[in-house]
Structure 1
Amino acid sequence: MSGGRRVVVTRRPPPVGSRGTTLLAGDSPGVPAIVGLQLRQALRTVGAVAGLLLGVPVLAAWVPDPWAWVAMSLAVQGVWVGLSLLHLRWAERLER
C-alpha cells in the first residue's frame, strides 16, 4: 500500500452477513412497479411460446414431407433459445 491514495468513506458499510444487505420487496416503492412490468413481459413471452406450440403442429399438418418435421423441430429449438435470451434481456432492462 505504499504510494496509494487514501479514499475517504463517509459511511461504514454494513457487515457482509447482516440483514441490511438484501433489498426486500417492501423496501423500495419502485419494486412493485418493476415486478408488474416484468410480469407483463413474462405474459407476452408465454403468449409467444403458446403461439409457437399451437402453430407448429398446424403448420406441420399442411406439410406432408417428413423432412419438414425435422426442419421445424430444429427451427423450434432455435426459437426457444432466442425467446429465452430476449426475455432475459428485457427483464434485465426493466430492472435498470
Structure 2
Amino acid sequence: MKTTEEEAQAMLYGDNDDFEIILDELEELDRWSATSRLIVRQMSTDKFFETYYSQGATEQQDQAPFEYAGTVTWNEVAPVEEMCLVYRPIPKEQ
C-alpha cells in the first residue's frame, strides 16, 4: 500500500477512522532522530500494514514523522503468535 505523507501522519495521529494503530514502537535512537515501527489495521479490509518513520529526538530537531517522505510505502503483515522462553528468579528457601 502507498500513501502520501499527510495520509500516513493522519493514521499515526488517529485522524483516519479506517485505521487503528496496533503498534507504535521505538526501534532505534541516535543523537538526532528516533526511528519507530508503526503497524496499523485497516478496519474496512481487516488487513495489517507496517512502515517505519523518523522524527527528531529532541525539541531542537525539527523533524516531524513522515516529513519529506512524499510517498510512504506500507508492507502488508500478518499477526503471528510466538512462544517466548523467559527466565525468572528462583525464590531462596529461608
TM-score by length of 2: 0.20
The one of the two structures with greater contact order (alpha-carbon pairs below 8 A, sep at least 6) is 1
Structure that is richer in helix per residue = 1
TM-score, normalisation: structure 1 = 0.20
